[in-house]
Amino acid sequence: MSVFQHVLWGYELTYPDNWVHRTLADAEGFSPVVEALDENYQGEQNGHLLVRAEWNGQLQDLQPLWNQHIGLTAGMLGAKNVGAAPWSMGGAQGLEAEIALPKSKNKRLWAGILGRGALVLHFMVVHTLSDRAWFEPLFTRLISSLRFPASLPGLAQDESGLPLPPDYVPVPPAELVSDIADPQNWRAYRGASAIGALQAFYLREGQHSGRKIESFDSFPGDADLGFARFELRHKKTTLTLGLLPYGGERVNSASPANLVIRIKEGN
């Protein structure tokens, strides 16, 4: 069996060694054959699982998120008789539904949503009706393997010891923040991960780096800062971590973000 770990969102799934995993835009796809991840595929072993993570920093109730998710899915596929039942997995709680598709599609569609703190996971399984007998147990086992590790090993670190997300590179702080009076106390990193995923990453890895999260301002959030901010403390050192979204005027939790860190020594 192979283990997929999403380093930012902090979940893992175990899938058969002979299956494939691919990252597809904002979702993770799992299937027996890579061709089946294409919705237009008509060949054998035509089935896949998609998992998409979402940041729910304002802890909105799952029902509106479910309604939006399932409404879009049902509309695109011509589904009907959409209901929902309570569902729990891996310590997360949510809703699930098997959705009736038009007979002409010859496919089965199952969807689910799980919430764990500010993390929301959307699941969708699609496969041909003729393959249900052997597909369904495999997909059920894959989804049932969902876990949320307390921390993930092997992460890169800033010189102050703070974990860094993958593919973030150091840049001069002045490239990201203007008018810095004490540049020697700042660090900056450029990258392209979604600010929602970065918040999930630092809520988990920040405290497991031996630091205490003294405050956290979510983005989007009530503070209306325009960015996310963490205050992390270890002994006499306080780090102010800013996650700065970019990508246009209307940024949201899916927008990419850069990192800035201010280091303060004190009592």
Total residue length of the chain? 267
Q: What is the pLDDT of residues 212-231, one digit of tens each?
A: 999 999 999 877 789 999 99
Domains of the chain: 2-144 (3.40.1000.10), 169-265 (no CATH)
The predicted structure's pLDDT at residue 99: 78
The predicted structure's pLDDT at residue 232: 94
The predicted structure's pLDDT at residue 154: 84
How is residue 205 written in tokens? 């890895």
pLDDT interval class at 178 (50, 70, 90): confident
Residue with tokens 């497991």: 208
Backbone angles phi, psi at 232, to 5 degrees: -120, 135
Backbone angles phi, psi at 227, to 5 degrees: -155, 170
Q: What is the pLDDT of residues 196-210, one digit of tens each?
A: 999 999 999 988 878
The predicted structure's pLDDT at residue 134: 83
The predicted structure's pLDDT at residue 267: 64
Q: Above 70 in pLDDT, residue 140? A: yes
The predicted structure's pLDDT at residue 102: 64
pLDDT interval class at 145 (50, 70, 90): very high
Residues 70 and 97: their CA atoms lie apart, in Å, by 9
Residues 113 and 70: their CA atoms lie apart, in Å, by 9
Residues 253 and 116: their CA atoms lie apart, in Å, by 17
What CA–CA distances, in Å, run from 190 to 19, 174, 200, 245, 260?
A: 34, 12, 18, 11, 9
Q: Is the dihedral of CA 241, 244, 245, 251 positive or negative?
A: positive
Q: What is the pLDDT of residues 71-126, one digit of tens each?
A: 666 555 555 556 688 999 999 999 998 877 767 667 788 889 999 999 999 999 98
Backbone angles phi, psi at 193, to 5 degrees: -80, 150
Beta strands, E only, 75-207: 85-89, 92-99, 107-116, 119-128, 169-170, 186-190
Give the residue, 266 or 96, on which the prediction is more confident: 96
Q: What is the pLDDT of residues 9-25, one digit of tens each?
A: 999 999 999 999 999 98
Average pLDDT (22-49) is 88
Average pLDDT in the chain: 88
CA nearest to 245, candidates 200, 196, 202: 196
